[in-house]
């Protein structure tokens, strides 16, 4: 959902003045206002989050009803944006690191986490900058990023390298279909204006089987693919088998890798 196509070298960031803090605090609140301009992003994220939590619990045999069910697990969110996935997963007990190519996104995310006393390690960097973190994370998220990247195999390879053996990789993107062009570009950008015009290029959309093939080169196995669809009448998102537009792909790294 977010445009992260303009990638830059990274470093940790912080706010130094009261004026800067106030500015990014306002932006953080805008991102999470259910009636604001990002309300559709929030609705999409909430539906996606529930599906991700359930799959993590299933893969690692966890009970989400327990307090802090993700305690002891390390999680990396590549392309974390404003931290919409990082924070709720951190609140479930995970040790969460969120990285993004946009310094602006990291400043917004970091300010919101500090204001709400949520422990997330936000870093302004690329996934490829984490060279010393091979086999480090139990869970790696890469959501709505790959459709903005030219070297898609390179991104997948990096995700695989960072994941622990036995860990779970979650990827989310848009399928390359006629339906996704109509809905994801014409509808979302030009008609409904949910996204800025030019956010996506259809040629960079990726079919689930293409991602699975990229993953298999690194020894990962796709274990589930779930579709996500938006009902324009009810304004609700749902998780189902329809992968013609948005989908979530879950893969695991062999313990022998």
Residue 179 among known ligand-binding residues = no
To 10 degrees, the CA torsion angle through 240, 244, 247, 251? 100
223-231: which pairs have CB atoms within 8 A and are 24 or more residues apart?
223/59, 223/250, 223/251, 223/252, 224/55, 224/249, 224/250, 225/249, 225/250, 226/51, 226/250, 228/44, 228/47, 228/48, 228/51, 228/172, 230/44, 230/183
At 24 the pLDDT is: 67
In order of their start, the domains of the chain are: 18-253 (3.40.50.150)
Is 177 known as a binding-site position?
no
Asked whether residue 81 is marked as a ligand-binding residue, the answer is no
**pLDDT exceeds 90 at position 147:** yes
Pick from 63, 50, 1: which is nearest to 240 by CA? 50
Least confident of 86-90, 138-142, 146-150, 175-179: 146-150
Q: Which of 24-28, 71-75, 80-84, 164-168 has the lowest mean pLDDT?
A: 24-28
Smallest Cα–Cα separation from 78: which of 170, 212, 198?
170
pLDDT score at 44: 95
* Structure confidence by residue, pLDDT tens digits, 213-254: 999 999 999 999 999 999 989 989 999 999 999 999 999 998
What integer best gives the mean pLDDT of the chain? 91
pTM: 0.90
Tell me if 79 is assigned to a ligand binding site: yes
């Amino acid at each position: 959902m977010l445009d992260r196509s303009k990638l830059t070298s990274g470093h940790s960031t912080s706010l130094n003045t009261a004026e800067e803090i106030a500015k990014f605090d306002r932006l953080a609140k805008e991102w999470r206002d259910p009636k604001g301009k990002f309300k559709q992003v929030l609705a999409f994220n909430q539906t996606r989050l529930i599906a991700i939590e359930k799959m993590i619990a299933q893969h690692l045999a966890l009970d989400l009803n327990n307090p802090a069910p993700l305690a002891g697990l390390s999680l990396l969110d590549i392309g974390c944006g404003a931290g919409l996935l990082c924070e709720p997963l951190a609140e479930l007990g995970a040790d969460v690191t969120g990285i993004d190519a946009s310094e602006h996104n990291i400043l917004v995310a970091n300010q919101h986490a500090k204001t709400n006393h949520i422990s997330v390690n936000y870093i302004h960097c690329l996934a490829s900058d984490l060279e010393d973190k091979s086999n480090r994370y139990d869970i790696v998220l890469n959501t709505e990023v790959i459709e903005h990247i030219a070297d898609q195999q390179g991104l997948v390879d990096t995700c695989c390298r960072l994941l622990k053996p036995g860990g779970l990789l979650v990827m989310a993107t848009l399928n390359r279909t006629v339906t996704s062009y109509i809905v994801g570009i014409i509808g979302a950008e030009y008609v409904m204006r949910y996204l800025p015009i030019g956010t996506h290029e259809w040629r960079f959309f990726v079919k689930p089987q293409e991602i699975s093939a990229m993953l298999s080169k690194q020894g990962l196995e796709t274990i589930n693919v779930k579709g996500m669809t938006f009902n324009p009448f009810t304004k609700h998102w749902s998780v189902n088998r329809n992968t013609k537009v948005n989908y979530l792909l879950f893969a695991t790294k062999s313990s022998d890798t």
